[in-house]
Amino acid sequence: MNFWTRVSRIILRNRYLVLFLIAVLTAFLVSQMKYMRFSYTEANLLPEDHEVNIQYDEFLKIFGEEGNLIILGIKDSTVFTPAKFNAWNQLAKSFDSLPEVDFTLSIADVKKLRADRKRRRFVLEPLYKESPKTIEKVNTIKEQLFEKLPFYDNLLYNKETGTIQTAIYINKEIVNTPVRKAFVFKKLQPIIAAFEKDHDLDVRVSGMPYIRTVNSQNIVDEIWMFVGGALLITAIIFFFFFRSFRATFITLLVVTIGVTWAFGFIGLLGYEITVLTALIPPLIIVIGVPNAVFLINKYQQEIKKHGQQAKALQRVISKIGNATLMTNLTTASGFATFVFVKSQLLREFGILASINIISIFILALMIIPILYSFMPLPKKKHLSHLEKRWIEDVVDWMEKMVKEQRVTVYISTVIVIILSIIGVYQIRVSGSLIEDMPKSKQFYSDIKFFENEFGGIMPLEILVDTRKNKGVMRLSTLKKMEKINEAIEAFPELSKPISIVNLVKYSKQAYYKGNPKYYQLPTSQEQSYILAYTKNSANNANMLNNFVDSTGRYARITTFMKDIGTEKMDLIQNRLREVIKKEFPEERYSVSLTGKALVFLKGTNYLITNLVFSLSLAILLIAIFMAWMFRSFRMILISIIPNILPLLITAGLMGFFDIPIKPSTILVFSIAFGISVDDTIHFLAKYRQELIANNWKIRKSVYAALRETGVSMFYTSIVLFFGFLIFTISSFGGTIALGGLVSVTLLLAMVSNLLLLPSLLLTFEKKIANERIFKEPSIKILPPKEGNQDK
């Protein structure tokens, strides 16, 4: 009695106990779902000890969380009427009183810096003391702000378009906590909605905390949409093929338990729900259904053959349990390669995916035979799909191609490879933080609004370490920083920078009675008496806090980036680094570029490097599986070729259709390769079984394997195609691309495994299929044919 026969007897004889254990484990994992956490930070794809992360952490230690700014903007000339102008400023004041807000900055908060000659100090005076009652007064305030206070240009207004904005700095302690979500949805949005309704103004809202909150909620909403959509589409296709409510119900039950386990494992392991881990539950549905297809198809074939339920159920487990285990192991190993990547985000995805793929296999193997054991035998109409003419026609066509048109198959393959390689050279890399965000959503159009009006919303920081206390306030340092400012302003993709340099310029303007033409750095002669005024100013410390640390050693230059890809960002970085290297000698200064946007961009490049590693590792692992199972080096090569070809075609399509390599689309290759190898294993397992049964008659064995496995492979590929296609209903660009590309890749993999693989076997038959080379496998994936054992 072989291993799988013993397994089948254990499962079927202890069916009540097995169902009870599954129920207990499911209940336990349901209890773990309460520990699921949603991610409140951007996806950090870099290892913790990566240089870019170390520099970013250093910046955070000195200046704290830089992504705590929410901005409100209005582009409407009617806002400069007394009622609306005062209401706009009052809106900012209403946020000031909230515990989640540190402070706000609006036009009402604008302070003019004035030189007090008697006390030799600078004093801050409000731009206006009373709320304006007339249009003339509002226009006076507007003129002063736009024409005489360049310090606030691009900070509170855009002089060219008349757009104004208010800055809301939320408490740094809550930026990466659930409190941020409650603040945005329960306070910020309702207050703004009420304001818009009362004053007939369109308020634009953006800033990293806001974008992250709204975007995260979209991810959460879409998980349930994907799960429901995947269940529905797979149920419809499954019923179309099997024409059995019973089979459809059993399959849906298995994958529903699988999805419950997936959520439970997320909670149990303490992982956050991110863009990647959100894909796991629908992925389990899509991968779980093919298991059901193979098991139920085998059961129905057995019933049709001999009509004995107990024998059929035992054979379902014993005859294809091993093949199904191998296919699930190869799929899981494809995902498990991410475990060896240093990125925590990818590692968590790999662990969850591989655990859940093995779990759904175990569930299908146990639940499907047990439930069928409680049910009456399938009726004739439930078995009619096994004799459908159209599926026979499809298999006949494939057999004819392999028999008579192998040259055509090879020529087509070579042409496709050449075209794909051309496409591969056109692939671009994208490290944009917002490119994948739903373009139909209001917050996306608001991002574009602020990009056009103020130069972007993604912070890019430059940290200057003078290595000396009070080294920042030296005129030589300020002039060097001004050179960096000039370099930043030369890029249309970056906003006007703000730093201590702006404040020192404003101080000189104030010293010269507020004349805007003096908004510039002081000369060496002016420096001593202007800085003397600064030292005597009581407000000096407060004004400096945002730009310089308490020791005066560190300074920051802040700019905001538009939605740009890695290529442009690399150009910008290189140019800035040239200026930094020239102005700040490394032996005297340490200057680093950092910020959330840069961390994300670097993470994308790091991810691409790791894609090559993880995919190579997946191919190696699966080659080892093939070597272990078939013990033939030539078989490894022949089995890998039909699975690498679809990946090459997909990469070519990405180049031709301008779908960039990015964190969301980078998973296509590992997912598709891990799943497509399943078909190869099923085909080769059946092929070897036929070889033994037919005394090593190659052609007969290939055609028999094609006929036997072609139907199941066709069914599973169609289910997978439409299952992954469900991701295209997402509002996230990357998820749409992921779904479409994986669907196409798996369809191509089916064609490749059913046409190219048999063709290669027939072409190289003499070198492969003789008993000296195609040795007895280490494990029997399929047992010998029944004609040889079951009499």
Q: What is the pLDDT of residues 591-645, one digit of tens each?
A: 999 987 788 777 777 777 777 777 777 778 777 777 776 666 777 777 788 888 8
Greater confidence, 343 or 14? 14
Inform me whether the pLDDT recorded for 143 exceeds 50.
Answer: yes
List, in sequence order, every residue forming a beta bridge with 661; answer none if it has no partner. 429
Per-residue pLDDT tens over the stretch 684-704? 777 777 777 777 777 888 888
Largest alpha-carbon pair distance within the chain?
114
Burial class (CB in 10 A: 0-12, 13-18, 19+), 99: exposed
Helix (H) or strand (E) holding 723: helix 698-725
Rounded mean pLDDT, 549-557: 90
Q: What is the pLDDT of residue 344?
A: 78
Q: Could you give the CA distance from residue 776 to residue 766 in angstroms, rounded to a whole number?
A: 17
Inform me whether the pLDDT recorded for 214 exceeds 50.
Answer: yes
When pLDDT is cut at 50, 70 and 90, the band that residue 535 belongs to is: low
Q: Could you give the CA distance from residue 549 to residue 562 in angstroms, rounded to a whole number?
A: 27
Inform me whether the pLDDT recorded for 653 exceeds 80.
Answer: yes
Q: What is the percent of the chain with per-residue pLDDT over 70, rounded to a whole number?
A: 91
Cβ-contact 758, 402 below 8 angstroms: yes
Q: What is the pLDDT of residue 383?
A: 64
Which among 783, 695, 755, 791 has a CA at the least distance from the CA of 5? 783
Here the tokens at position 306 are: 């001999």
Can you give the residue ranges of every domain in the chain? 3-42+214-425+600-789
Cβ-contact 207, 170 below 8 angstroms: no
Q: What is the pLDDT of residue 258?
A: 93
Q: Could you give the CA distance from residue 439 to residue 456 in angstroms, rounded to a whole number?
A: 16
- Site of tokens 């030369």: 490
What residues have CB less than 8 Å from 421, skipping those under 6 apart? 648, 652
| Residue 8 Cα distances to 23, 25, 123, 311, 369, angstroms | 20, 21, 86, 10, 9
Chain centroid, CA 747 distance in Å: 23
When pLDDT is cut at 50, 70 and 90, the band that residue 771 belongs to is: very low
Per-residue pLDDT tens over the stretch 364-411? 999 999 998 888 877 766 666 556 667 777 778 888 888 888 889 889
Burial class (CB in 10 A: 0-12, 13-18, 19+), 307: exposed
Inform me whether the pLDDT recorded for 791 exceeds 50.
Answer: no
Q: What is the pLDDT of residue 765?
A: 65
When pLDDT is cut at 50, 70 and 90, the band that residue 780 belongs to is: low
**Which conformational region is residue 595 in: left (phi greater than 0), alpha (psi within -120 to 50 degrees), or beta?**
left
Q: What is the pLDDT of residue 137?
A: 92
Q: What is the pLDDT of residue 188?
A: 93
Q: What is the pLDDT of residue 788?
A: 44
41 SS3 class = coil
Inform me whether the pLDDT recorded for 789 exceeds 50.
Answer: no
Average confidence score pLDDT of the chain: 82
Q: How many helices (H) and strands (E) does the chain have?
A: 29, 12
Q: Which one-letter amino acid corresponds to residue 305?
A: K
Where helices occur in 1-128 by DSSP H, the ranges are: 3-13, 15-32, 51-63, 82-96
What residues have CB less than 8 Å from 551, skipping those under 6 apart? 469, 470
Q: What is the pLDDT of residue 782?
A: 54
Where helices occur in 425-499 by DSSP H, the ranges are: 442-454, 475-489
Inform me whether the pLDDT recorded for 786 exceeds 70.
Answer: no
- Site of tokens 């329960």: 186
CB atoms within 10 A of CB 419: 16
Q: What is the pLDDT of residue 724?
A: 82
Torsional sign, CA 384, 390, 396, 402: negative
Inform me whether the pLDDT recorded for 759 exceeds 90.
Answer: no
Cβ-contact 768, 759 below 8 angstroms: no
- Would you state the torsion angle of the CA atoms of residues 313, 318, 322, 328, taken in this order, to the nearest 10 degrees? 20
Here the tokens at position 434 are: 């917002």
Q: Which one-letter amino acid corresponds to residue 48?
A: E
Q: Which one-letter amino acid corresponds to residue 417?
A: I
Q: Could you give the CA distance from residue 555 to residue 773 in angstroms, rounded to a whole number?
A: 70
Here the tokens at position 361 are: 């296999």
When pLDDT is cut at 50, 70 and 90, the band that residue 443 belongs to is: confident
DSSP string for 515-547: -GGG-S---HHHHHHHHHHHHT-TTHHHHHTTT
What residues have CB less than 8 Å from 393, skipping those under 6 apart? none
Which among 599, 595, 604, 619 has a CA at the least distance from the CA of 664? 604
Nearest 5 degrees, angle CA 444-CA 445-CA 446?
90
Q: What is the percent of the chain with per-residue pLDDT over 90, rounded to a whole number?
A: 20
Q: Could you give the CA distance from residue 131 to residue 83 in angstroms, rounded to a whole number?
A: 10
Cβ-contact 281, 262 below 8 angstroms: yes
CB atoms within 10 A of CB 264: 24
DSSP 8-state assignment for residue 338 = G
Residue 299 phi, psi dihedral angles, 5° rounding: -60, -45
307 SS3 class = coil
- Site of tokens 């049709």: 304
Q: Which one-letter amino acid corresponds to residue 235?
A: A
Q: Which one-letter amino acid corresponds to residue 58?
A: E
Here the tokens at position 17 are: 């106990």
SS (H, E, C) 115-157: EECCCCEEEEEECCCCCCCCHHHHHHHHHHHHHHCHHHECCCE
Helix 82-96 and helix 135-148, axial crossing angle in degrees, nearest 10: 60
Instruction: Determine which of 164-173, 498-507, 515-524, 630-639 has the lowest per-residue pLDDT on average.
Output: 630-639
Rounded mean pLDDT, 496-524: 89
- Would you state the torsion angle of the CA atoms of residues 602, 607, 610, 616, taken in this order, to the nearest 10 degrees? -150
Greater confidence, 684 or 497? 497
66 SS3 class = coil
When pLDDT is cut at 50, 70 and 90, the band that residue 556 belongs to is: very high
When pLDDT is cut at 50, 70 and 90, the band that residue 123 belongs to is: confident
CATH architecture for segment(s) 3-42+214-425+600-789: Up-down Bundle (1.20)
Helix (H) or strand (E) holding 191: helix 189-199
Where helices occur in 631-697 by DSSP H, the ranges are: 633-656, 667-693
Q: Could you give the CA distance from residue 602 to residue 609 in angstroms, rounded to a whole number?
A: 11
Radius of gyration of the chain (CA): 33
